[in-house]
A and B are shown apart, each in its own frame.
Chain A
Amino acid sequence: DSGVTQTPKHLITATGQRVTLRCSPRSGDLSVYWYQQSLDQGLQFLIQYYNGEERAKGNILERFSAQQFPDLHSELNLSSLELGDSALYFCASSVQGGVNTEAFFGQGTRLTVV
């Protein structure tokens, strides 16, 4: 158990809908990362937050947004869902989020868009 908690574990929704994925980082970790893993593209970095502020942005679509709250938990919002958004979404956390900092991954949320 990495100490990073993601909910829900599974989510099935229809195209065009909006969902929210939740991540609770390890106790004491200030940085949260979001990743998408689809069958055909492997793992892709979406976005990173550090202590409530956006720190880095990867290949995140405009339909997706995220935020980190004062209690350091984070949410990833996915809207206008398409079939291609079906994937595993992972959250990771680290103490500071600086270079060379080890990140610990949650068990992921499996999103299926039908």
Chain B
Amino acid sequence: KNQVEQSPQSLIILEGKNCTLQCNYTVSPFSNLRWYKQDTGRGPVSLTIMTFSENTKSNGRYTATLDADTKQSSLHITASQLSDSASYICVLDNYGQNFVFGPGTRLSVLP
């Protein structure tokens, strides 16, 4: 069983709509949970970093939440743009000793 699972695997939405991506994890303990955006063939770009004690972190139109009790995190994207089309990856950082990546959600924003 993967330590970090993401859903949905892929998602198609229309420009301007909101969407929420999910991340479920079993990694424990961990120091922080990160969300990355990765355009095809390019390096990931950090969106948010939340420590295990934080519940929410925003970066512009991106808002990440963390529920340590249910071991779930979500990334909410508001007013989507065509440039949001990318893979979104959830990562658990085990105090810098290891980084466990989720498989990603592939988001396509259509005009």
Contacts and interface: CB of A to CB of B under 8 A. Distances in A.
Contacts of A33: 99
Contacts of B101: 42-45
A33 B64 CA distance: 24
B31 interface: yes
Contacts, number: 56
Nearest to B87: A42
Contact of A99 (B96, B100, B102): B96
Interface stretch (B14-22, B41-49, B69-77): B41-49
Given A4-B43, A102-B46, A56 B97 contact: yes
B5 to A, nearest CB: 11
Consensus secondary structure, chain A interface: strand
Interface residue range, chain A: 20 to 34
A58 interface: yes
Nearest to A4: B43
Nearest to B102: A42
Interface in A60-114: 88, 90, 92, 97-100, 102-108, 110
B46 A100 contact: no
A2 interface: yes
Contact of B32 (A2, A44, A88, A99): A99
B96 A97 contact: yes
A100 B32 contact: yes
Interface of B: 31-32, 41-46, 49, 51, 89, 91, 93, 95-104
